[in-house]
Structure 1
Amino acid sequence: MMTTFQLPPFITPSSKFADEYSARRLARQAASGQLFRIHRGLYLPTEVWDSLLPWEKYRMRIQAVHESARNAPVFARESAAQIMGLPVIGVPSEVQTVVSPGRSGGQSNRGVRRVNAVAGDPPPWEMFGVFLTPPPQTARDLAVRLPLTGSLPTMDKLLQRIPLSGSPGNPQQFFSEDDVRAATALLPNATQRGRVERVLTVADPLSESAGESLSRAIMIEHGFKLPALQTFISDSRGFIGRPDFDWEEQKTFGEFDGYEKYSSQKYLRGRTPAQVVVAEKLREDRLRAKGYNVIRWIWEDLRDPRRLIQLLHEAGIPLR
């Protein structure tokens, strides 16, 4: 899942360190391993670069493209999604920008791919000081070019009616399927429009994380019966919880365990990770006492979908 983080400042020949770091000295320090070259004329201390997570390194590459451009680029596809906080599964190999319709798009140079904008699209948004395609257009473009496992997490998140961090104050903040369909109507051919419609047909704002959306995409692609999401379950003692996935006829609940459940304060709510584990165990005991089977999986089971598929088969989840 992508979130914002504090961008460390680049070291450049024109920065306040110019006396200490001339262009030649920067190049020598990069060659010796003291600095890491992100983009032409833009460096970070190697220890800072090595400390970043893969998606943070990708965010730094996006920022480097922005800062090195003569004219402010408009970021698109996965690059736009990463900036605005829409989920991106995996780390792209290229930074994507759009060029005006009719100009030379589809070209890649030095890790930057230029793609043609769609005629009729609205003006770009500005978020965190950079320009990017607005959320409905970004989700649409990912639905056109990515498999369901890559596009469904983005579409689920878009439809949740939660303001994206860094959104400008004046444009529309919440988006519906109708907004995405209006953007889709501008696409030049029926094949592209059909790809977006396929994602919209199965998108569900009740999905609460990228891992849950990716899990559902794998289920859909392999023909499993789809579960209800986030159903309220109670017993004689009161509310138990909202399992991520509910196959009521099979009396089976599914839970995706993302790492953030045991590390993020949003989920810990003042508790220690150990206390969260105990609370999960007690909750699961109450569910089993009601006759339910509970199956769990983690990110590793999604990176190799065969593991999730086997788990679902073993739990008796039927195919559609």
Structure 2
Amino acid sequence: MTSTAPAVHLRTGLRAAGYSDDEVRQRVRAGELGVVRRGAYVDGPLPDDHATRHLTAVRAASEQLCADAVFSHASAALLHGWPVWGLPLGAVHATRSRRTGGRVDPAVHVHAARLRDDEVTWLDGVLVTDAPRTVADVARTAPFTQAVVVADAALASGTVDADSLARAIARQKGWPGAPRARRVLAFADGGSRSVGESRSRVAIAQAGLPAPELQHEFVDRGGAHVGTVDFWWPRKRVLGEFDGLVKYGRLVPPGRTAADVLVAEKAREDALRDLDLRVLRWLWSDLTDFRATAARLRERLS
């Protein structure tokens, strides 16, 4: 479990430490304790970040759920370290290996589904579905784009490959959402290196545009490395770049300023244009409605 998730105090532990229920309520009202879920608290306010808050809820649930509950779906994806863009994080997901007995409430979604022993692993002290099973579960149950984001990230991390995903999905033949999972697997590509790139690939495909090559490397006429681009259509010498703007802001490399990065990126793009390449960039906002960007791409690829 991520070390950024704060420690959780259960009501039973607070009682054992000498706090009465009234004192616990007083500490909550004073902001000294944040309520994770019924009977579970953290020191101070809950984390602002949705992912960290969810992992904190996982930590609390691990102390309160039945011993055979295995964290799964979006919860497991976060525990494996993958982005879960667009997936609801209000409830913790866990699976119990049984045919019936699933339940859904605002805090926990317990799935009832067969779990093989080799589909379960330990991560930081809690039972979690292993990487292939986690991707398969998300691919069956999540919308296509969100599932592709998870599958791409899992492939890029090296913790799964196409064969292990195919086996995990084949085990779920006949389960609800299995055809959707096979579609996600057919589309997933570890060449996508970010949520924005995965979302871009889906948008490009949905616009009916040709599939690009991913992470293509360019060298200049002297053989020096110019850069690696997100998307490349070689027949028309068109390259596409998703620009999340993060590299110009809070994730600037140590020892460099945002201005340094911006100047370097401008020089890189000029060098690519010197190779007689047509460059098209788009932003997060363009992914909300990709039609204008798709039209610009279609014109360059025609």
Cα shift at 1:55: 1.4
Alignment match, 1:268: 253
Match of 2:143 among 134, 144, 147: 147
1:65 is the counterpart of 2:65: no
Q: Which residue of 2 aligns with 1:92?
A: 89
With over 3 angstroms needed to count, the CA separation of the structure-2 counterparts of 1:262 and 1:131, relative to structure 1, is: farther
Q: Which moved more, 1:176-185 or 1:116-125?
A: 116-125
Which residue of 287, 298, 302 maps to 1:316? 298
TM-score by length of 1: 0.82
Q: Larger deviation: 58-67 or 121-130?
A: 121-130
Secondary structure in structure 2 of the residue aligned to 1:242: strand
Deviation at 1:183, TM superposition (A): 1.4
Q: Deviations over 1:282-309 (max 9, x none)?
A: 111112222323222333333x2x1x33
Equivalent-residue separation in structure 1 for 2:242 and 2:2 (angstroms): 23
**What SS does the aligned partner of 1:229 have?**
strand
Question: What is residue 22 of structure 1 aligned with on the other side?
Answer: 20
Q: Alpha carbons of 1:65 and 1:301: their partners in 2 closer, same or farther (altered >3 Å)?
A: farther
SS in structure 1 opposite 2:160? coil
Where do residues 88-127 of structure 1 align in structure 2 (5 Å cutoff)?
Answer: 88-90=84-86, 91-105=88-102, 107-118=103-114, 120=116, 122-127=118-123
Change (3 A) 1:282 1:59: same
Q: Structure 1 residues 205-214 or 62-71, which shifts more?
A: 62-71
User: Could you say which residue in structure 2 is the equivalent of 1:294?
Assistant: 279
1:1-320 equivalences in 2 (<5 Å) = 4-13=2-11, 14-15=13-14, 18-19=17-18, 21-46=19-44, 48-49=45-46, 51-71=47-67, 73-90=69-86, 91-105=88-102, 107-118=103-114, 120=116, 122-160=118-156, 162=158, 174-189=159-174, 192-237=177-222, 238-258=224-244, 260-262=246-248, 268=253, 270-302=255-287, 304=288, 306=289, 308-316=290-298
Distance 2:32 2:115 in 1: 46
Q: Deviations over 1:216-250 (max 9, x none)?
A: 12222332222111111122252110111112334
Task: Count how many residue pairs are aligned between Structure 1 and Structure 2.
Answer: 299
Deviation at 1:271, TM superposition (A): 2.6
User: Alpha-carbon deviation of 1:104?
Assistant: 1.1
Shift of 1:181: 1.5
1:254 CA drift (Å)? 1.6
Question: Identity over aligned residues, as a percent?
Answer: 30
1:76 shift after superposition: 0.7
Deviations 1:239-267 (A, max 9, x none): 110111112334322222235434577x7
Retained in 1: the 8 A contact 2:15–2:21?
no
Q: Note the residue ranges of structure 2 that are not aligned, 5 or more in a row.
A: none
